[in-house]
Every structure is written in structure tokens, then in C-alpha cells.
Amino acid sequence: MRIADMNWMQVEEYLKRDDRCVIPLGSTEQHAYLSLCVDAILAERVALEAAHPLGIPVFPPLNYGVTPYFRAYPGTVSLQLDTYLRVIRDMLDSISEYGFKRILLVNGHGGNSPAQTLCIEWMAENPMVVVQFHNWWNAPRTWAKVQEIDPVASHASWMENFPWTRLANVAMPSEQKPPIDADKMRMLTPKQVRDYLGDGNFAGLYQRRDEEMQAIWMAAVEETHALLTGSWGRD
């Protein structure tokens, strides 16, 4: 359930019977021919579908993340790491204050992973609250499904091309892009990154069949759902 579809009294009622919630974490950044908002769209959608059968509220996604390397691509917005970690900390402080004690962060962007360490630090200071940080796309079952379908998959390739992230009237190249060298990319300026990556796909085909994408999606939703119904480390 979207928190946008609840008022504060309903949240107060919910907290009398449950203490779980979800926050999707995205990024607004180049995704080659796909939407700039792929990471936010996917994180929110997987969160909503996983939480829906349980009636667990899903907060609006944090649509901006840490993505300094893509700053030469128009439309990309990068928060400084320091800013980002403060925003996550403020969100956890607020959300836990009135009674959410089990918080699942569903992350859609690799650059946001320093927040995982922040969560561990924050839990040491707030021992009554459990925060799980979940990279939905490379969680074991979802990643295994991706690898089974096509091992050449990465940022902005077919593996992020779902019916809900592709754009109307935008044609996809048909070739398979060779993998980029991630170690090299880390040494480049944003301008050099753009020159090196071209369209922005890191590796692989640009699109695969919708049935294959559906299989990955099912695995991702089930894997995220299982975290919500699991022990939260307290068994």
C-alpha cells in the first residue's frame, strides 16, 4: 500500500497491529535509451508488489541518489555522498520515531550502497529497530535468474528494460554491447565517462523478450516479499 493512499490516522491505526514499512531508493541518472528514472521506477514497483499482499505501507521513493560519474549526461542529478547519508539518517529517525520498528530499504542503484553501512551504524544507536538494506536486482535468486537468461547484463542493458521502464517510440539498438571496464571507468572524469560509455549501456543486449523479463520480475518480487515475512534477524 502506498503511504500516499493513507492519512496519518490510518498510519497510527496500522502501527497498533504492525511495525513494518518499506522505503524504495532510486536514482535519476542516464540509463541509455531507457527512462532516466529507471532505478526509482523499479525499486518502487518491486516494493509495492512485494508489500501489497501484506498490507505493508511503502513510502514514496527517494528519487535521487549518488551518481557523480554520470554528471555529463543531461537529466542526471547526483547528491553528494554526505548529503545522501544525512537524508537516509533523517528518514530513519523520523520513521522510527512514531513506531515503525522494521524498515526495509529496497535499493535500485549501486551508487547508493554506502547507505548500507550507515544503516548498520544507525542500528547500533537504535537497537530497538531493524533496518534491512536490500539491493533488489542483485539479490541471490533474482541475480541467478538474470544469469540463467543471459550472463551479459549490466547497467542500462536489457536487464533494466521492462515494459515499465522503456519509453514510447524509442528504438533499441539490436547489437550486444561488449562489457565496459569498470576499473577504468572509476578513474575517469564525468566528461571522460561519457566519451567512454557512449550511450551509457555497460554491457549486453538492449532488450530481451517480455516473458524473460517477467520471470526475473517474479523472482525479484518473491525475494523481496520473503524479506518482509522473514525473521528480521530476530529468530
Considering only the stretches 38-46, 82-90, 179-187, 195-203, report the one whose residues sit in contact with Zn ion under the rule CB under 5 A. 38-46
Considering only the stretches 37-45, 138-146, 178-186, 199-207, report the one whose residues sit in contact with Zn ion under the rule CB under 5 A. 37-45
C-alpha angle 30-141-217 in degrees, rounded to nearest 5: 55
Under the binding rule (CB under 5 A), the answer on residue 34 touching Zn ion is no
User: Residues near 192 by Cβ (< 8 Å), separated by ≥ 6?
Assistant: none
* Contact call for residues 110 and 135 (beta carbons, < 8 A): yes
List 21, 22, 38, 51, residue binding Zn ion (CB under 5 A) = 38
Per-position x/- string for 39-78, each x denoting binding to Zn ion as judged by CB under 5 A, each - no binding: x---------------------------------------
Q: Are strands 20-25 and 102-107 parallel, antiparallel or unpaired?
A: parallel
Pairwise CA distance, residues 96 & 111, whole Å: 25
* Cβ 155 to Zn ion shortest distance, Å: 6
* Cβ 38 to Zn ion shortest distance, Å: 5
Scored b (16 or more CB within 10 A) or e, 138-159 reads ebeebbebbeebeebbbbbbbb
Q: Which is nearer to Zn ion, 19 or 39 (CB)?
A: 39
C-alpha cell at 34: 531507457
Considering only the stretches 35-43, 64-72, 190-198, 203-211, report the one whose residues sit in contact with Zn ion under the rule CB under 5 A. 35-43
* Contact call for residues 95 and 59 (beta carbons, < 8 A): yes
* Cβ 137 to Zn ion shortest distance, Å: 8
Q: Which is nearer to Zn ion, 42 or 95 (CB)?
A: 42
Considering only the stretches 16-24, 36-44, 170-178, 192-200, report the one whose residues sit in contact with Zn ion under the rule CB under 5 A. 36-44
Residue with cell 493512499: 5
Pairwise CA distance, residues 121 & 72, whole Å: 33
Considering only the stretches 33-41, 99-107, 117-125, 161-169, report the one whose residues sit in contact with Zn ion under the rule CB under 5 A. 33-41
C-alpha cell at 14: 496500522
Q: Which is nearer to Zn ion, 39 or 44 (CB)?
A: 39
Q: Which is nearer to Zn ion, 57 or 111 (CB)?
A: 111
C-alpha cell at 135: 539491493
Q: Partners of 78 in the beta sheet? A: 65
Task: Name the residues that contact Zn ion, by CB under 5 A.
Answer: 38-39
